[in-house]
Amino acid sequence: MDDAELDNLLRQSLARRQAAPADSQALADWASRHVGEAERANARARALGLARATVSGDAVRVIQWLEEIVSIFARSTATPPDGEKAFAFFSPGKTCIHEVIRQFDIARHSCDVCVFTITDDPITDSIIRAHARGVAVRVITDDEKSHDLGSDIDKLHLCGIPCKMDLGNAAHMHHKFALFDGRRLITGSFNWTRSASEQNEENLLVTPDPDLVAAFAVRFEFLWGRLALMSNDQ
């Protein structure tokens, strides 16, 4: 992809005010073949230039588009190589939810989820996809939030995914983290809800740091051993 083709793809994406799946895949494929920082800097500069030329009354949506595009250029490959770097994502916008879904889609062995609530269907679908292809998935969530309108915990449970909750505890299970393949951690304020993507100021940190991964894995196993497994009559 030369500069003209890159500019054309960026303009088409910007015109829609979002990075459509086809746009994201094309840009991710391009970024995976151009690992040099000079090429990445050039791509970021072109996206910034397009945004600056477009900003007007809908500046907020333009900036959200820009955050999505820059996050794509920041990732070197579609699957995490050894030495993957840490990244931060922010909402409102689609960068956080896209990254959560990406982590489930690239998981090969295990996904350990420990989150306050799950109501955003695209995330739920990505969890079920991982489970369906043989990835070992476990979910810990808050018992009270599991009864909220739109909660997907029953759906996950009925798919055969083991789910545990802090039944009978007056306090909330308020964690928001997940571990993938025992190698990658995502955590932050980001709730797995539609409002977190579309309205709230949230953050999501993705890191392969082995010390952090190990610390959160210990906490997950502690909670998994202490909390109650959902039964079929719940």
Catalytic residues: 174, 176, 181
Give the three-class secondary structure for 209. coil
Give the three-class secondary structure for 30. helix
Rounded Cα distance, 156 and 57, in Å? 41
Counting beta carbons within 10 angstroms of the beta carbon of residue 212, is it exposed (0 to 12), middle (13 to 18) or buried (19 or more)? middle
Q: List Cα–Cα distances, 27 to 21, 31, 60, 121, 171, in angstroms.
A: 10, 6, 22, 25, 44
Q: Which residues contact 228 (CB under 8 A, 6 or more apart)?
A: 164, 165, 166, 167, 168
Q: Running DSSP on this structure, what letter comes out for residue 21?
A: H
